[in-house]
Structure 1
């Protein structure tokens, strides 16, 4: 099938089978390797990207679902090569250890902050529930999301 959609603000046109996974299109066809494959079954969240500003598992999303839609990957969050506030908050709050789950966590957090710019800790936990991290611990991750939310609102985060 001829596939036309937007990735990180750029129009993309590819000839792919309708059942080709978005994860494979991003990594193999478009060279966007920030999106990781963990379980390949939609359980771990490592492959999370935004599809029309909503978090989806790219390992479960197929080409037939993409025409005319907008995909944003971790690479699309940066601005002229600079990390976004959310990415920077993950680094500064030491919410990164091995880094494998990090892109999925950041993308799930980004989707949450699009929908709710002032989430509670419980809302953050719920939004990240589909993402598994074995290294860093959720305290730093939640702190990073809260910090980024406050910065995006123009406030300093207060505990």
Structure 2
């Protein structure tokens, strides 16, 4: 099967078995060295990638789901400005995931931040509209249950959820400050 997708900013045309998992495509066909896939599809969470800005377990994503997808691995993500927000949050809290899950937990946090700061809807609303003010107020209240569920994609127990939530909140603060400066 031929699949057209973008991986780490490069448009690729891959000829692979339609059921081949993304983790193997990245390791065998693309030569990515940052993907860790010890569990072979049992969802440990160490093989997280961003697919269209959402955290996904690459070991369970079959090739046929990759058509026209934008895939970002930690290898390219760590070169972005967004990575610095999370890195600073780790430093601020003094907590960092272990080397086995650092990449995947960082990508999960980025996925959460993307969702929380997605301003497409906000830009469509007028700056002074009541709906915009309501949107900003609801944005201030983090849905901790949803965030915990997202963070649970990685099963490593090196950090507890309260530490991870604190990192998300601090990284979100950094991200919002950047967004305000740009506007």
Q: How many residues are matched?
A: 155
Number of the residue aligned with 1:136: 159
Q: Give me the TM-score of the superposition, normalised by structure 1.
A: 0.82
What runs of 5+ residues in structure 1 fail to find an aligned partner? none
Q: Give me the TM-score of the superposition, normalised by structure 2.
A: 0.72
In structure 1, C-alpha distance between the alignment counterparts of 2:5 and 2:171, rounded to whole Å: 29
In structure 2, C-alpha distance between the alignment counterparts of 1:88 and 1:29, rounded to whole Å: 33
Q: Does the residue aligned with 2:13 lie in a helix, a strand or coil? A: strand
Q: Following superposition of structure 1 onto structure 2, how do residues 20-39 of structure 1 map, counting pairs within 5 Å?
A: 20-39=20-39
Q: Does the residue aligned with 1:154 lie in a helix, a strand or coil? A: helix
Q: Are the counterparts in 2 of residues 95 and 137 from structure 1 also a CA contact under 8 Å?
A: no
Tell me by how many angstroms 1:102 deviates. 1.9
Tell me by how many angstroms 1:68 deviates. 1.1
Structure number with the higher helix fraction is 2
In structure 2, C-alpha distance between the alignment counterparts of 1:82 and 1:64, rounded to whole Å: 29
The two structures, once aligned, show a CA RMSD in angstroms of 2.4
Q: Does the residue aligned with 2:165 lie in a helix, a strand or coil? A: helix
Q: Does the residue aligned with 1:43 lie in a helix, a strand or coil? A: coil
